[in-house]
Structure 1
Amino acid sequence: MSDNSLPPGLPGAWTAAAPDADAIFAMAEAALETLPDVFRPHIRGVVIAVEEFADDETLASLGIEHPYDLTGLYEGRPLTERSIDQSGGMPDRVTLYRIPILVEWIEEGERLDWLVRHVLIHEIGHHFGFSDNDMHALEDMA
């Protein structure tokens, strides 16, 4: 192996380039696998997406001035607010914002996969109607 080559099959996050959306998505999928089994049936329909930043409209609707301040977003109706006869509509969605996550990763120095997991679990907590304390407990269980 020459000095300039890397072993085949290394994830993009290991090649000295900033992890791309696919790498962040793979980390999110791995994080979902760590959730307790009791939660899995309730998150099957939740769409996970990775975008670079939140758009201006989303930021404005949340009262957030700087796009680096939003690392993730849950869009949908929490399970605690649904009725049994509810049907149709768009699937619930969790969006992870790659650039703000990478900025936080650089600033805080924690493992990137743990940061992605933290953001994802926090947003999934909104799907369940959890408080911030509940979300911390869920994260501790995962």
Structure 2
Amino acid sequence: MSDGFWHDRLAPGLDDLEAIAAKAYAELPPEIRALCGDILIRVAEFPDDDVLDEMGIESPFDLLGLFQGIGLAHRGEVRTGQPPNMIWLYRRPLLDYWAEHEETLCALVRHVLVHEIGHHFGLSDEDMAAIEAEAC
């Protein structure tokens, strides 16, 4: 690759990461996607300060993704007005992590997405690794 390849390139934006996340989600096993139901995937630059405070995280770069909602393992009676389950992916922390590690951005986004979906299902790390391996 020549130096010219990066000459006019910009860091992936929010739309780019949303497209990567959508592709990673589409590549998950169909039975996992079916169980996810109406889960929403969103991308933001950084987590909100209230999220960081609630989790006791000092640096916004320390959180790559977050599941917000009621996981299947804890779901009981659905209440009116309950916000949908969401997975947040955070662009700047993801890019920072990507720059420091030997992993493609797509693989990193898939890993974080599967990890956050794992929170939705209450899965173990081994279960999440198996889902991620099947999606590759």
1:44 Cα shift?
3.2
Unaligned runs of 5+ in 1: 7-14
Question: Scaled by the length of structure 2, what TM-score is found?
Answer: 0.88
The structure in which a higher percent of residues are helix is 2
1:133 Cα shift?
2.3
Unaligned runs of 5+ in 2: none
Provide the rounded CA distance (Å) in 2 between the counterparts of 1:113 and 1:23.
10
Provide the rounded CA distance (Å) in 2 between the counterparts of 1:116 and 1:94.
12
Answering whether residue 16 of structure 2 is matched by residue 16 of structure 1, we say: no
Instruction: State the match for 1:59 in structure 2.
Output: 52
1:87 Cα shift?
4.1
1:109 Cα shift?
3.0
Instruction: State the match for 1:93 in structure 2.
Output: 86
Instruction: State the match for 1:119 in structure 2.
Output: 112
Bigger relative contact order (CA 8 A; separation at least 6): 2
1:91 Cα shift?
0.4
Instruction: State the match for 1:74 in structure 2.
Output: 67
Answering whether residue 22 of structure 2 is matched by residue 33 of structure 1, we say: no
1:73 Cα shift?
0.2
C-alpha distance after superposition, 1:6-44 (max 9, x if no partner): 9xxxxxxxx510000000000000001111111122223
Q: Bigger radius of gyration, 1 or 2?
A: 1
Per the alignment, in what secondary structure is the counterpart of residue 84 of structure 2? coil
Superposition RMSD on alpha carbons, in Å? 1.6
From 120, 129, 133, the equivalent of 1:136 is 129
Give every structure 1 segment of 4 or more consecutive aligned residues whose post-TM-superposition deviation is greater than 6 Å: none
Question: Scaled by the length of structure 1, what TM-score is found?
Answer: 0.85
Provide the rounded CA distance (Å) in 1 between the counterparts of 2:20 and 2:27.
11
Aligned residues: 129
